[in-house]
């Protein structure tokens, strides 16, 4: 453990870790804006648009739980270097993709290396900073995440419209080349060696079982519509449920499980996982559908679509500010999650109604207020969410719990992309799609009742 004099480069190292976070956040958001342009350039069906986001999120989901343990076993600095280099190479492969298949494969590769890269930063921070500075270090994540959320879609739209070197949408991935190399070189210079003294073996069979179960759920949801929903799609989804149950049974009998089985005996934690799955499904799915509707139905340019969605991102930052200024996030976290979810649900429904009622003559200013409301609710609900869900987790279970929660967040994003994207491409209308997203948020609202009233400050950053 480093004290405040033992490691002089801790703030520079924090900057490197935050740079990696920015890369991951940008690449999880940019394809929402760029998807129509990518399909126009590469060809392929509507499912390509869904796989751009779902492939990345699904790979992150199945890799995150193992990613943190790789750092414990082999060294967090080493895994950070491998993750940042691999993520950069995968980004370049995305930018050079020549077919839908190579693009999807490159996005999956991005997600896998992202799952190796991102978990290392939290462990390194805990070891670099003395206790009195840890909160300040973790506090830097909020503004960085907020700025990335605000700037990501706009940056993607601007780069596509700018069309540097006639590269079009490819620049949104190729920009990671200088960013990734800077993060890699910064890690070589500033990151200290760091690993856990209590690391356990990797549970590769558990990871494979979870991967298969997740794939059998997401694949038919995305491809089923194009094939006319044959019997195998429903068999696949049913098999996914069976394999997830088998995964729980298998993990309960291992001495070094991927997920600590005792976590699932905690009602608050399992309820939080369900709430997170529903919340992020509605959130990510609606963001994708909104961008698609603006570009495909209303013929907005990528930059115009990115700017039109800006109020929701700004609202998220405002929602975070409300939670911090009022003290609700700390003292009445569950209440804030409920209020934020209801506000977001109202904003989503109102946005869908405005889009439906205005028709082709829609101006972005008409739905700016409703997106702002949705964003404020999202920020309010998200600020206390991770701490509240982890409130009843024992200290020795924190690593497994936070990894599982992050994985469920990514799985929710993949599920929302698959379900709401399929509904949108079935041409049922933007209002109906918004209603389904709101239904997901309503499920999250109901499941949040099992959460504790406030966090127990387990010290895990979301």
Neighbours of 288 (CB within 10 A): 26
Top-level class of domain 266-462: mainly alpha
| Euclidean distance between CA atoms 208 and 224, whole angstroms | 23
> Do 1-201 and 266-462 fold alike per CATH?
yes
* Cα–Cα distance, 174 to 130 (Å, whole number): 37
Please report, for residues 15, 317, 431, the alpha-carbon distance to residue 20 in angstroms, rounded to integers and kept in the order given.
Answer: 9, 20, 37
Contact 35, 49 (CB under 8 A): yes
Tokens (6 digits) for 296: 């495909």
Residues near 34 by Cβ (< 8 Å), separated by ≥ 6? 52, 156, 160, 169, 172, 302
Domain range summary for the chain, segments of one domain joined by +: 1-201, 204-253, 266-462
Largest CA distance in the chain: 64
Please state the CATH superfamily assignment of the domain spanning residues 1-201 in this structure.
Answer: MFS general substrate transporter like domains (1.20.1250.20)
Cβ atoms of residues 117 and 20 within 8 Å: yes
**Do residues 190 and 16 touch, judged by C-beta distance below 8 A?**
yes
Q: Is 26 exposed, middle or buried (0-12, 13-18, 19+ CB in 10 A)?
A: buried
Q: What is the pLDDT along the chain (462 residues), one digit of tens a residue?
A: 445 455 678 888 889 998 888 888 888 888 889 999 999 999 988 899 999 999 999 999 888 878 877 887 888 899 999 999 999 999 999 999 999 999 999 999 999 999 999 888 877 887 788 877 776 777 677 667 767 777 788 888 999 998 888 888 999 999 999 989 999 999 999 998 876 666 567 788 888 999 999 999 999 999 998 888 999 999 999 999 999 999 989 988 888 787 878 888 888 888 889 999 999 999 889 989 999 999 988 889 999 998 998 898 889 888 888 877 776 666 777 888 899 999 999 999 999 999 888 777 778 889 999 999 999 999 888 888 877 887 777 766 766 777 788 888 889 989 999 999 999 988 777 888 999 999 999 999 999 898 887 765 444 433
Q: What is the per-residue pLDDT for 195?
A: 67
3-state SS record for the chain: CCCCCCCCCHHHHHHHHHHHHHHHHHHHHHHHHHHHHHHHHHCCCHHHHHHHHHHHHHHHHHHHHHHHHHHHHHCHHHHHHHHHHHHHHHHHHHHCCCCHHHHHHHHHHHHHHHHHHHHHHHHHHHHHCCHHHHHHHHHCHHHHHHHHHHHHHHHHHHHHHHCHHHCHHHHHHHCHHHHHHHHHHHHHHHCCCCCCCCCCCCCHHHHHHHHHHHHHHHHHHHHCCCCCCCHHHHHHHHHHHHHHHHHHHHHHCCCCCCCCHHHHHCHHHHHHHHHHHHHHHHHHHHHHHHHHHHHHHCCCCHHHHHHHCHHHHHHHHHHHHHHHHHCHHHHCHHHHHHHHHHHHHHHHHHHHHHHHHHHHHCCHHHHHHHHHHHHHHHHHHHHHHHHHHCCCCCHHHHHHHHHHHHHHHHHHHHHHHHHHHHHHHCCCCHHHHHHHHHHHHHHHHHHHHHCCCCCCCCCCCC
């Amino acid at each position: 453990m480093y004290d405040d004099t033992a490691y002089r480069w801790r703030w520079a190292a924090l900057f490197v870790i935050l740079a990696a976070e920015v890369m991951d956040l940008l690449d999880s958001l940019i394809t929402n804006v760029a998807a129509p342009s990518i399909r126009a350039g590469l060809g392929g069906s509507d499912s390509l648009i869904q796989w751009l986001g779902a492939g990345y999120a699904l790979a992150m989901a199945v890799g995150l739980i193992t990613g943190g343990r790789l750092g414990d076993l082999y060294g967090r600095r080493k895994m950070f270097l491998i993750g940042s280099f691999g993520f950069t190479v995968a980004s370049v492969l995305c930018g050079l993709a020549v077919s839908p298949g190579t693009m999807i494969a490159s996005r999956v590769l991005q997600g896998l290396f992202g799952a190796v890269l991102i978990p290392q930063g939290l462990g390194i921070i805990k070891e670099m900073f003395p206790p009195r500075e840890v909160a300040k270090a973790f506090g830097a994540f909020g503004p960085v995440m907020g700025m990335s959320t605000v700037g990501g879609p706009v940056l993607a739209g601007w780069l596509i419209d700018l069309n540097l070197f006639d590269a079009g949408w490819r620049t949104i991935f190729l920009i990671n080349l200088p960013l990734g190399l800077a993060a890699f070189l910064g890690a070589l210079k500033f990151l200290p060696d760091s690993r856990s003294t209590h690391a356990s073996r990797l549970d590769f069979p558990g990871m494979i079982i979870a991967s298969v179960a997740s794939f059998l759920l997401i694949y038919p949801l995305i491809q089923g519509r194009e094939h006319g929903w044959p019997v195998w799609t429903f068999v696949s989804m049913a098999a996914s449920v069976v394999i997830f149950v088998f995964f729980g049974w298998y993990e309960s009998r291992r001495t070094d499980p991927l997920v600590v089985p005792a976590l699932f005996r905690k009602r608050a934690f399992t309820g939080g996982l369900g709430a997170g799955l529903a919340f992020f499904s509605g959130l990510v799915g609606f963001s994708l559908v909104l961008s698609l509707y603006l570009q495909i139905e209303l013929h907005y340019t990528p930059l115009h679509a990115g700017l039109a969605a800006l109020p929701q991102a700004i609202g998220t930052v405002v929602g975070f500010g409300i939670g911090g200024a009022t003290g609700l996030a700390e003292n009445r976290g569950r209440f804030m999650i409920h209020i934020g979810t209801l506000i977001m649900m109202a904003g989503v429904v109102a946005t869908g109604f405005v889009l439906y009622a205005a028709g082709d003559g829609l101006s972005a200013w008409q739905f700016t207020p409703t997106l702002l409301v949705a964003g404020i609710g999202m920020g309010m609900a998200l600020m206390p969410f991770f701490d509240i869900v982890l409130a009843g987790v024992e200290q020795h279970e924190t690593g497994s719990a936070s990894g599982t929660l992050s994985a469920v967040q990514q799985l929710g994003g993949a599920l929302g992309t698959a379900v709401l994207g399929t509904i949108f491409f079935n041409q049922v209308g933007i209002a109906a799609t918004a209603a389904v997203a709101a239904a997901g948020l309503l499920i999250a609202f109901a499941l949040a009742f099992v959460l504790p009233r406030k966090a127990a400050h387990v010290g895990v950053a979301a």
